[in-house]
Structure 1
Amino acid sequence: MNDHSTASEERARARSLGIVVGALPTGPLNAITDVEGVLVGHTTLDDGADLHTGVTAVVPRQLTTGRRALPAAVCTGNGYGKLVGSTQVGELGVLESPIVLTATLSVFRAADALLTYLMRLRRDGLSFNPLVGETNDGFLSDIRRRPITERHVLDALEGASGGLPAEGCVGAGTGTTALGFKAGIGTSSRRPAVDGAQVTVGALVQANFGGVLTVQGVPMPVGELVPDAGPEEPSGNSCMIVVATDAALDARQLGRLARRAVFAMGRVGASYSNGSGDYAIAFSTAPPRLATLPDDALNPVFAAVMDSVEEALLNSLFTATTTTGVHGHTSHAVPYDRLPRKTRD
């Protein structure tokens, strides 16, 4: 088992391949960790054979250094999934825990492990709301083994850090597929100007959904790009999106951001199928003393969400490597030589 992904081939992010999404500037890392205080940790389980799975944790440091909750919202694009803790976020409009992502049949063990983490962090209290999402990596990983343990979850949480998070076949994205290709974890950020001040919006995705990959408006069916890929049925069935911002927004406004995060899946060709669990979680790290932004100032923030999620999804695909897993199933990496190029000066 590996704690960190080690790719056998050199892979690249969208911008390194000449693919630029939108005109807004990115943060210095072009990652969710550009939002001050937002950390990311992974635990990867990859035995080179039947297990390709793991855990990814998004940890707002504000929740570990004094604040009990952050304004937050959840958007359910299609509810065929297991997002533990989401109803309380929707009811109260706050996030009380880090966000953990994993595989479908491991989500309940991960929630229990996150509860352990929260109880250690806060010695008082009789109720805690761990938030844990999932996608189904059963095409490449023996999901019925439920290999995720408390230690794996705690390692991702306790090892979370700033800096550019690992992408592709790592953490909760180790065994995921999307749009017919191997996918995984991806991230991106934008820094729009709002009412004369710059704010940061960051996104992290666990991509595992169906449709036809579309890059800058160009459809790229796996059957045409990888003729020996076989049937296109292993195209995944869900997507988890986490959006963080330092803009001063309330829960209602964050719900508007979360909806646009789900909309952004359509830009890359999502089919939004019956069996897809498509969810977005949005939260704000802004100090509570700041006045909430007016709704009529939010257009640049909406654009930042759409662009950062689109690029995060592309990064999740472009950084992933061809993987062969359980039952000999193979998911192929996106071939770079067929990508459209459109750079911005």
Structure 2
Amino acid sequence: MPTGSLNAITDVPGVRVGQTTITGDGLNTGVTAIVPEGWEGTLPAAVAVGNGYGKLIGTTQVEELGVIETPILLTGTLSTFRVADAFLTWLLDRDPHATSLNPIVGETNDGHLSDIRRRPITPAHVHAALDTASSALPAEGCVGAGTGTAALGFKAGIGTASRNLPAPSRAATPSAVAPAPSRAGGYTVGALVQANFSGVLTVLGRPVPAEPIDADGNSCMIVIATDLPLDSRQLGRLARRAIFAMARVGSDYAPGSGDYAIAFTTSRTPSYADHDLRAPFQAVTESVEEALLNSLTMARTTTGFQGHTAYAVPHDRIRPQ
């Protein structure tokens, strides 16, 4: 399917990304913030759990109410709770009357390349990622929450991609008005991933084996954004396809892996028919697959905590022969 102009989650109108990166002195970690326009008034959302060996703060309320009421943050495992607390401060500063908030914070374990027990992320790091969020092309690879992650035997990190799809020709019901896209000609689905899982790298069906990296974690966080007019149930179907897409790049879905996807839409007027979901499903599958590959091909060899090294995938090994 055709990509958006940036081939990134920020192709979805109103979606911004900000990142804070921490390196040096045995540290390779950070924060990635996905900030959709209109989050203050809640946006339809859903979570899918492939394997729940991880932390995704705020999950139960999203499942219960079918909405997010904050941006979405990603970080390293043991910093999750410090990030959530700093995030809560940022939210309270913007709503002086709030007595209940549901910050969404996900993680993967970057302890192979970063001194994870130091929990180095401060409120300043969290607030900077949120305050600098931009609709520009996000940096990929060794940046933000992906600074210290590895996947499929190679150095990985943050990756993103998008797909455009036309508006359906049919309405959701015989009497309904066909949903109007917010972008001329159709809608956009975007993905952002924090890749940190095991398996054998597979590129367009071709395995690219590597020595396994002896590391805790083996997880993946996937964020799906769209402007499609979907309800929470339909977004849950998209989120499940995001986890399915991990198989296309070689995930082994290890028992110690925390594989999560959260999908949201910037549209508050659900009017999309289930029988028209084939194209959105394909858009999710393609964008997640490419985002995962981008997280690897944009990463660089990194030596970190206690001299541990994760090597970048050699590009000549994945080019067509």
Give the structure-1-normalised TM-score. 0.87
Kindly indicate whether residue 155 of structure 2 is the aligned counterpart of residue 182 of structure 1: yes
2:46 to 68, 73, 77: 73
Q: What residue identity is the alignment partner of 1:185?
A: I
In structure 2, the residue matched to 1:259 is 240
Structure 1 residues 291, 326: CA separation in 2 closer, same or farther (over 3 Å shift)? closer
What's the offset of the Cα at 1:236?
Answer: 4.8
Match of 2:174 in 1: none
Corresponding position of 1:166: 139
The equivalent of 2:289 in structure 1 is: 310
Cα displacement (A) at 1:341: 2.5
What is aligned with 1:38? Answer: 15
Question: 1:219 deviation in Å?
Answer: 0.5
Structure 2 match to 1:280: 261
1:137-286 equivalent positions in 2, closer than 5 A: 137-196=110-169, 197-223=185-211, 232-234=213-215, 236-286=217-267
CA distance, structure 2, for counterparts of residue 322 and residue 235 of structure 1: 19
**SS at 1:292 equivalent:** coil
Does the aligned pair in 1 maintain the 2:111–2:215 contact within 8 Å?
A: no
2:33 to 53, 57, 70: 57
Deviations 1:64-121 (A, max 9, x none): xxx4200000001100001100110001000010000000000001011111111112
Alignment RMSD, CA only? 1.3
C-alpha distance in 2, partners of 1:146/1:293?
43
**What runs of 5+ residues in structure 2 fail to find an aligned partner?**
170-184
- Alpha-carbon deviation of 1:178? 0.3
Match of 1:293 among 272, 294, 316: 272
Whether the aligned pair in 2 keeps the contact of 1:74 and 1:86 (CA below 8 Å) is yes
Secondary structure of 2:57's match? coil
- Structure 2 equivalent of residue 15 of structure 1: none
Q: In 2, Cα distance between the equivalents of 1:131 and 1:338?
A: 37
Paired with 2:48 and 2:270, the residues of 1 have a C-alpha distance of 24
- Looking at structure 1, the residues matched to 123 and 187 of structure 2 have their Cα atoms a distance apart, in angstroms, of 36
- Distance (Å, rounded) in 2 between the aligned partners of 1:199 and 1:174: 31
Amino acid at match of 1:173: G
| Cα distance in 2, alignment partners of residues 309 and 252 from structure 1 | 20
- Which segments of 5 or more consecutive residues in structure 1 lack a partner in the other structure? 1-23, 224-230
Question: How far 1:51 sits from its partner (Å)?
Answer: 0.3
Over 3 Å counting, the alpha-carbon distance change for 1:272 and 1:291 in structure 2 is closer
- Residue 264 of structure 2 aligns to a residue whose secondary structure is strand
Deviations 1:231-260 (A, max 9, x none): 543485100000000000000000000000
- 1:319 corresponds in structure 2 to 298
- Maintained 8 Å contact 1:201/1:243: yes
- Separation of aligned partners in 2, 1:334 and 1:235: 20
Q: Give the conservation status (yes or no) of the 8 Å contact 1:188–1:204.
A: yes
Q: Aligned letter for 1:41?
A: G
Query: Deviation at 1:125?
Result: 2.1
The percent identity for this pair of structures is 64
CA distance, structure 1, for counterparts of residue 90 and residue 317 of structure 2 = 45
Cα separation, 2, equivalents of 1:173 and 1:322: 13
How far has the Cα of 1:275 moved from its partner? 0.6
Q: Quick check: 1:194–1:300 contact (8 Å CA) kept in 2?
A: no
* CA–CA distance in structure 2, aligned partners of residues 99 and 203 of structure 1: 13
Question: Following TM superposition, by how much is the alpha carbon of 1:132 offset from its aligned partner in structure 2, in angstroms?
Answer: 0.1
Alignment map for 1:52-131 (pairs within 5 Å): 52-63=28-39, 67-131=40-104
Distance 1:301 1:51 in 2: 38
Distance 1:255 1:36 in 2: 21
